[in-house]
Amino acid sequence: MRLLLVEDTFDMAEAIMIRLDRSGIACDLAKTLEEARSLLDVQRYDVIVLDLNLPDGLGTDLLKELRQKSDRTPVLVLTAEFSVDDRVSTLNSGADDYLVKPFDYRELEARIQALYRREQGDKAEELAIGDLTFNATARVVRLKEAQVNLTRREFSLLELFIRNRGKVLSKERLFEGIFSFQDTDVSMNALELYVARLRKKLSGSSVVIETQRGLGYKLEVHD
Amino acid sequence: MRLLLVEDTFDMAEAIMIRLDRSGIACDLAKTLEEARSLLDVQRYDVIVLDLNLPDGLGTDLLKELRQKSDRTPVLVLTAEFSVDDRVSTLNSGADDYLVKPFDYRELEARIQALYRREQGDKAEELAIGDLTFNATARVVRLKEAQVNLTRREFSLLELFIRNRGKVLSKERLFEGIFSFQDTDVSMNALELYVARLRKKLSGSSVVIETQRGLGYKLEVHD
DNA sequence: CAAACCCTGTCACCAACCTGTCACCGGCTG
DNA sequence: CAGCCGGTGACAGGTTGGTGACAGGGTTTG
């Protein structure tokens, strides 16, 4: 795990870093918002631990910038004191969790791990194929950022192709994949039609459904 | 929240269910261990409230079975009398909390809520989603400062959506979340109606419930 | 205790959109 | 070049979801 710690108090930062290092968490330190920004420009982090009070501004400002850029990196906010209002505004800025100083380092680590796990769990569901992003849980397909709206059948079909990318899939196999066995009266032409519709919706993508005459179809990634 | 109550005394069970229902907790009732087992086979619960003395055995037996299967659902044990030995053996069986009859229903509810909160790992009890603030404990929802008045069912529904934001939730899943299984005669249209009502109350928010035809609904945050 | 109010869930009807057939076309293959 | 396989536009149901109106039941208030 790669972590960015934004904290200006040296003792605090050192104590945290030693502890995290011991747990095998690679930890970069930024003492100001400025430093944090330059690090974030060149490096992706799995988790950010952000102190609220920094010499050159508020942690929440950085947080808002990130979310503005739709960077969803999990952020844990550290703060000295915390009124109910602070709490609300911090969470509103897009923080995922917060911890009030002084805190127990074990708790900090536990929460960092929790955020990391959540993040990884979400990501596992995202498949990237060429310039396509496929998320089975959210049932979302994106083509270069833009969302592609697929119907149920189209989605099932694409899912089949993606899970077997590179393999030739027979029409029968595909048919069984998207129609239930009750649909005995549906013609094979329906499948061809769905392939056509999918192709149209995915046109402009590096992902292409190739026809294998007499055999079936195959999903290929071109460049 | 979805709760399983295992209790054979009818009066007691009814009193508890009415109370919990009023707080928006979808509550299933099992009068025997047998019934409880079949319900647990088909349904996940957030909390289980378990009477110790049941016609077909001891509540602790069920509890041990669960823990054996490494099911960590929080369990609150209800019992008529309680020696120190009982207490120890109950907790050893894997109970998370217990309550001695007669008890105050408010206390029961508070403890159930506490177990639920702990389970959800929700130390930050205020959830911020887009321009919405959601407080499960206080049962308050705010849209850009202004309070949104939601009914019991509307609140349960929103809670489900928020705890699974981004994921597609099937109508069945949502239905089970807001109705108890005794409500077999309620039509699926009721759920659609609640979605419509929620949408109306949340109109103008960045949080939107999207329809996934044939699949269910999904909560999305737009900008 | 009645009146007013609100929450619930049903019904009916409408709108949107998904679906699969048909028909016809075009290109491969032998 | 004939035959076949696959591609695709148009269209007609059919399914699914949305929503206004309403009735029943419960709760609050005067």
Please state whether strand C lies within 7 Å of residue B168 at its CB atom: no
Return d(Cα A207, Cα A187) in angstroms, integer.
Answer: 26
Smallest Cβ–Cβ distance between B215 and the set A88, A92, A139 belongs to A139
Per-residue pLDDT, B87: 76
Asked whether residue B156 carries a pLDDT value surpassing 60, the answer given is yes
Q: What is the per-residue pLDDT across B52-106, written as a single tens digit (0 to 9) for each?
A: 989 999 999 999 999 888 788 999 999 887 666 777 788 888 899 888 888 888 8
**Predicted ipTM?**
0.72
User: CA B134 to CA B157: how far, in whole Å?
Assistant: 12
pLDDT at B123 over 60: no
Which residue's CA is nearest to the C1' of nucleotide D18? B196
Contact A137, B173 (CB under 8 A): no
Nearest CA in chain B to A98: B124
Mean per-residue pLDDT over chain A, rounded: 87
Q: Scan for tokens 């009818």, then name that residue.
A: B10
pLDDT surpassing 60 at residue A84: no
Question: Which of B128, B168, B213 lies closest to A138 in CB terms?
Answer: B168
Which residues of chain A neighbour B167 with C-beta distances below 8 Å?
137-138
What residues in A contact B214, CB-CB < 8 Å?
Answer: 151-152
Taking the alpha carbons at both ends of chain B, their separation in whole angstroms is 29
- Neighbour-count burial of B26, counting CB atoms closer than 10 A to its CB (0-12 exposed, 13-18 middle, 19+ buried): buried
Calculate mean pLDDT across residues B162-175: 91
Chain B contact probe: residue of A108, A125, A140 with most B CBs at under 10 A: A140
- Residues B187-206: what's their mean pLDDT? 94
Measure A61 CA to C27 C1' (Å): 60
Predicted local distance difference test score (pLDDT) of residue B198: 96
Structure tokens at B8: 């054979």
Residue B23 binned pLDDT confidence (cut-offs 50, 70, 90)? confident
Distance CA(A2)–CA(A23), nearest Å, equals 12
B190 beta carbon to strand C: under 7 Å:
yes
Is residue B98 within 8 Å of B82, Cβ to Cβ?
yes
pLDDT (tens digit per residue) in A4-56:
999 998 888 888 898 888 888 889 999 999 999 999 998 899 999 999 889 99
* Dist CA A90 CA A82 (whole Å): 10
* Distance between the alpha carbon (CA) of A170 and the C1' atom of C21, Å: 22
| A184 CA from C21 C1′ (Å) | 14
Question: Residue B190, CA: closest nucleotide via C1'?
Answer: C9
CA of B193 to C1' of C29 (A): 57
The residue in chain B having the minimum alpha-carbon distance to the alpha carbon of residue A111 is: B121
Cα separation values, A178 from A184, A210, B91, Å:
12, 18, 49
Residues of B in contact with A151 (CB under 8 A): 213-214
Nearest partner of B173 among B47, B42, B72, judged by Cα = B42
Amino acid sitting at position B161: F
Dump strand ranges (E) for chain A: 2-6, 26-30, 47-51, 53-54, 57-58, 75-79, 97-100, 126-129, 132-135, 140-143, 146-148, 168-169, 207-212, 216-221
Report if CB B184 to strand C is under 7 Å: no
Q: List pLDDT tens digits, range B31-58.
A: 999 999 998 987 889 999 999 989 999 9
Contacts (Cβ under 8 Å, ≥6 apart) of B30: B4, B5, B6, B7, B36, B39
Q: Could you tell me whether strands A140-143 and A146-148 are parallel, antiparallel, or unpaired per DSSP bridges?
A: antiparallel
Identify the structural domains of chain A with CATH numbers, from first to last: 2-124 (3.40.50.2300), 127-221 (1.10.10.10)
The gap from C-alpha B159 to its chain's centroid, in whole angstroms, comes to 10
Cα A52 off chain centre by: 25
Query: Which positions 144-173 of A are in contact with B (Cβ < 8 Å)?
Result: 151-152
Joined together, the tokens standing for residue B178 give 């807001």
User: A31-40, A64-73, A81-90, B214-223: which range is least confident on average?
Assistant: A81-90
Residues B6/B59, Cβ–Cβ less than 8 Å: yes
Q: What is the mean pLDDT of chain B?
A: 88
CB-contacted nucleotides of strand D (7 Å)? 5-10, 16-21, 27
Strand C contact with B91 (CB < 7 A): no
Q: According to the model, what pLDDT value does residue B125 have?
A: 64
Which chain B residues are within 8 Å of A137, Cβ to Cβ? 166-168
| A:B CB pairs within 8 Å | 33
Per the structure block, which two tokens stand in for A168? Answer: 């030739």
Helix axes of A188-201 and A152-163: crossing angle, nearest 10 degrees? 80
